[in-house]
Structure 1
Amino acid sequence: MSAARDDLPAVSRRRVRLALRAARERSGLSQAEVAKKLGWSLSKVQRIELGEVAVSPIDLRALIVDVYGLTDVERIAELTEEARIARRERYWTAPEHRDHLTPGLIQLLQFELAATSICEFQSTLVPGHLQTQEFAEATLGWYGLELTDEQRRVRRDVRLARRERVIERDGAPEYRLLFDESALWRIIGDMATTADQFEDLAEAATRPNVHLRVLPMDRGALMGMFGVFSVLRLGPDRDDAVVYRESYLRDALTEDVSEVLYHIDIFERFWQQALDEHASRALVLARVYDIRARIARDNDHGTNHGKEQDTRG
């Protein structure tokens, strides 16, 4: 798989909407004036610029040529092709993904392929794309009747596939994970599942594109209030990024510049307050050893208790 994909509908839709908004602003026209010139409703112009709908190539040419006066033939052809790609969303997305994944997650899967870097904060558990199969099944089991067996299966398969897409593929983006220390003290599934997961996380942190920092509990209380989020950088400009937020069964992806910059600033602030990468990995491994020691003690206690019972019998 290539380092980035140029045929991603969500990414193309974003490029088109940003180009159209920039062209309108350069023209000095308001959205209402554009709508009046083309005989469209104001909501149509607004939805196109917000990326809520994909603009057709015909409507695109009406905007950029007839209204905004663009004459660059190559640029017109480029935007027209982007508009065609953006309208392939339904055909690009696997049917089971459309049926069982949220719109936000479907978009995230596309932006992950185009990202140059990903910054993620996790306050509760190891991120989905770094979860082992047993850990993923344990976390998805929390949802009980809120997810069907088929929905859980699809989400589990997507989580496991995202590891290659986000972390391990050639040309994978730089990935920075800010991990709250409190998450190290949660037992997910059972102690063996949790120990295996943390050991796997420590191993993933040795990859050259992966940077793990643990935010100590005495520094992370305020950060925890922001909830789980990821910032995906798509280009060299600071605001050329999107933010993905997730909470229980709800999620959302936003391109709003103020939200993007806000989350970048928050992440950078607490990234500097976290333990360095060497100390963070050591802390994760120490937790692995602690859990495995508890398992060994429990097993030894159970064995000795059985022997005592046999002796008494």
Structure 2
Amino acid sequence: MTEAVTPTVARRRVRLALREAREAKGLTQQQVADEMEWSLSKVIRIENGDVTIAPNDLRPLLGYYGIKDRDSVSELLTAAKVARMRQRQAWYQAQEYRDQLSDATRRLIEYEAEAVAIRAYSIYYLPGFLQIPQYAEALTGKFREDIGDDRVKVLLRARERRRQTLMARLDDVQVYVLLEQSVFMRPIGGPTVFAGQLKEMQTLATQDHIHLRMLPFDLDYPIPNNGSYDLVALSENRADSEVLYRENAMTDEIVEDKASTTRHRSRFEQLWNLSTNEADTIDFVDTRIKELETKSPTR
């Protein structure tokens, strides 16, 4: 039975299949554009997911790539039709978000809304989709002088809408959060704000769909030094459905090649199995909350 997919997932499936087929043939995007009598920008936009490809364009392109298996052609044509279905404009497509959020961030938000599983590994702070407003303000607000007040406001609104979207669909997604112990020790926003953030995480971690683990300081195992990242799975049944998102102080990116996503997933699973289990992590969080509350100013 064919797995039902949304336009978001279908568009990604088609464009990745076309990119992989082109690369397997050793063709450049310009060669494809010349053969199909298209502009180069059209090929680039199709492979980037900026536009969908019409089934009438897809058929000859598949033939050019040598994809003739009936089932494969049928699946891609069906996906192309689904990808072109009209969707209500999502909030992150509004102009204010397009102006202030990177393409990678907006694509991440789009994928999170369709995900069946999210795996977040962080060594500095809690993942954005789990940050309460006060914690997010304390963290992002520090960059006002660098990026401007208007952008900070948009980033904070986007972060809260991401959190609300996830909370509304917890029955449909499994979330695995792996945090280095320093994340629990760094009181962003001060004791009161950080205690509130940890209480929220503690509550979420007692639910069936959010799993929280900690990498302790005394773990005798090499920790990857490539920073934090998220893995977003769009299907339970397809190994190629996982998307990698990572960022540093200067930029962020979406990575979709299977070698990279597989490597990061393997690394995540290794560390997950070595980490403090969920029950002990929640106990640690509870102890940390009590420590913070003793430091909070009395009302």
TM-score (norm 1): 0.79
For residue 13 of structure 2, the aligned residue among 15, 25, 34 is 15
The 5 A counterparts of 1:119-138 are: 119-138=119-138
Cα distance between partner residues in 2 of 1:216 and 1:165: 30
| Matched residue SS, 1:202 | helix
Post-superposition Cα deviations, 1:10-29, rounded to whole Å, max 9, x if no partner, equal x343211133346668xx85
- Alpha-carbon distance in 2 for matches of 1:286, 1:157: 31
Distance 2:266 2:260 in 1: 10
Is the counterpart of residue 283 in structure 1 residue 284 in structure 2?
Answer: yes
Q: Secondary structure at 2:238's aligned position in 1?
A: coil
Q: Which residue of 2 aligns with 1:274?
A: 275
Summarize deviations over 1:180-210 as a string: whole Å, max 9, x none: 1111111212211111111111111112100
Distance 1:67 1:174, change over 3 A: closer
Q: Which range is displaced more, 86-95 or 176-185?
A: 86-95
Q: Which has more helix, going by share of residues? A: 1
Shift of 1:91: 10
Aligned to 1:95: 95
Q: Is the deviation greater in 145-154 or in 227-236?
A: 145-154
CA gap of 1:67–1:249, structure 2 versus 1, over 3 A, is closer
Q: Is residue 232 of structure 2 the alignment partner of residue 232 of structure 1?
A: yes
Contact 1:37 1:67 in 2 (8 A): no
SS at match of 1:207: coil
| CA distance in structure 2 between the aligned counterparts of 1:224 and 1:79, rounded to whole angstroms | 37
Query: Contact (CA 8 Å) 2:18, 2:47: kept in 1 or not?
Result: no
Alignment of 1:240-259 (within 5 A): 240-259=241-260
1:141 deviates by: 1.2
| Structure 1 range deviating more: 165-174 or 120-129 | 165-174
Unaligned runs of 5+ in 1: 301-313
Quote the offset at 1:163 in angstroms.
Answer: 1.8
Query: Relative to structure 1, is the Cα distance of residues 36 and 165 closer, same or farther in structure 2, using a 3 angstrom cutoff?
Result: same
| Residue number in structure 2 paired with 1:169 | 169
Question: Would you say 1:54 and 2:51 are equivalent positions?
Answer: yes
The 8 Å contact of residues 247 and 253 in structure 2, kept in 1 or not, is answered as yes
Deviation string for 1:133-180 (max 9, x for gaps)?
A: 111111111213222222111111121121232244254310000011
Aligned length: 290
Cα distance 1:65–1:220, how it changes in 2: closer, same or farther (>3 A)? Answer: same
* AA matched with 1:283: F
C-alpha deviation, 1:219, in angstroms: 2.1
Query: What is residue 262 of structure 1 aligned with on the other side?
Result: 263
2 CA distance for matches of 1:265 and 1:259? 10
Contact 1:128 1:159 in 2 (8 A): yes
Query: Structure 2: which amino acid aligns with 1:134?
Result: Q
Separation in 2, partners of 1:158, 1:152: 10
Among the aligned pairs, what percent are the same residue? Answer: 30
- Residues 66-104 of structure 1 show CA distances to partners (whole Å, capped at 9, x for unaligned) of 765767796575244245359999998121110111111
Task: Give 1:6's aligned residue.
Answer: 6
Structure with the greater alpha carbon radius of gyration: 1
Q: Secondary structure at the match of 1:265?
A: helix
User: For structure 1, which segment, 197-206 or 218-227, has the greater mean C-alpha deviation from structure 2 after superposition?
Assistant: 218-227
Task: Measure the CA separation in 1 of the matches of 2:89 and 2:67.
Answer: 29
Write the distance in 2 (CA, Å) between the matches of 1:295 and 1:88.
45
- Secondary structure (helix, strand or coil) at the match of 2:113 reads helix
| Secondary structure at the counterpart of residue 289 of structure 1 | helix
Secondary structure class of the residue paired with 2:252: strand
> 2:36 matched to which residue of 1?
38
| Alignment partner, residue 292 of structure 1 | 293
Structure 1 residues 221 and 136: alpha-carbon distance in aligned structure 2, compared to 1, 3 A threshold: farther
Q: C-alpha separation between the residues in 2 aligned to 1:208 and 1:274? A: 19
When residues 61 and 232 of structure 1 are mapped into structure 2, their CA distance, relative to the original with a 3 A threshold, is same
Q: CA RMSD in A?
A: 3.3
For residues 137 and 75 of structure 2, what CA distance do their matches in structure 1 show?
A: 47
Give the whole-Å Cα distance in 2 for the aligned partners of 1:91 and 1:182.
Answer: 34
Q: Describe the SS at the equivalent of 1:143.
A: helix
Q: Quick one: structure 1 residues 56 and 86, their matched pair in 2 at CA, closer, same or farther if it must change by over 3 Å?
A: farther
CA contact (8 A) 1:120 1:231 kept: yes
Hey, what does 1:211 align to over in structure 2? 211
